[in-house]
Structure 1
Amino acid sequence: MAEKETLVVSSKVKAYIKTTGDLKCSAGVIDVLSDKVRALCDEAIGNAKADKRKTLQEKDFR
């Protein structure tokens, strides 16, 4: 199985978690977040296509 591409900026996520929660971030967190972003995008893509549009818009993230 091919490795999935990371969809989030690891350094930004880790910095946010450190600044906001004073916590460290394991490498697995980045993979989980990328999976969640991928799922959100897939759903939004489906919404745009259902509306017969070729442009993904913020309203597609319901």
Structure 2
Amino acid sequence: MSEKEILVVVSKLKNYIRSTSGMNTASNVAEILSDTIRRLCDQAIEKAKTDGRKTVMERDFTSEV
């Protein structure tokens, strides 16, 4: 998998932004959002590993204990 692979459905992202705000979406938003998602996933993976699990769970994405 390429590090710069887009991880979101761009059409759904654009539709959400337009329907919520009436705004357009710049072409580079999906790339930046994908980078953010990758960072969050990496953090969640590390938390699951620290907890001795091989499954990333919802709780790994929250800061709650």
Q: Give the TM-score normalised by structure 1.
A: 0.92
CA-based RMSD = 1.2
* Runs (4+) off by over 4 Å: none
Alignment of 1:61 with 2:61, yes or no, is: yes
Q: Give the direction of change, closer, same or farther, for the CA distance of 1:58–1:8 in structure 2 (3 Å limit).
A: same
Alignment of 1:41 with 2:36, yes or no, is: no
Query: In structure 1, what is the equivalent of residue 12 of structure 2?
Result: 12
Partners of 1:58 and 1:3 in 2: how far apart?
A: 23
Q: Give unmatched runs, 5+ long, in structure 2.
A: none
Query: In structure 2, what is the equivalent of residue 32 of structure 1?
Result: 32
Give me the identity figure in percent: 51
The structure with the largest helix share of the pair is 1
Partners of 1:33 and 1:4 in 2: how far apart?
A: 11
**Count of residues in correspondence between the two structures:** 61
Q: Give unmatched runs, 5+ long, in structure 1.
A: none
Cα drift, residue 3 of structure 1: 5.9
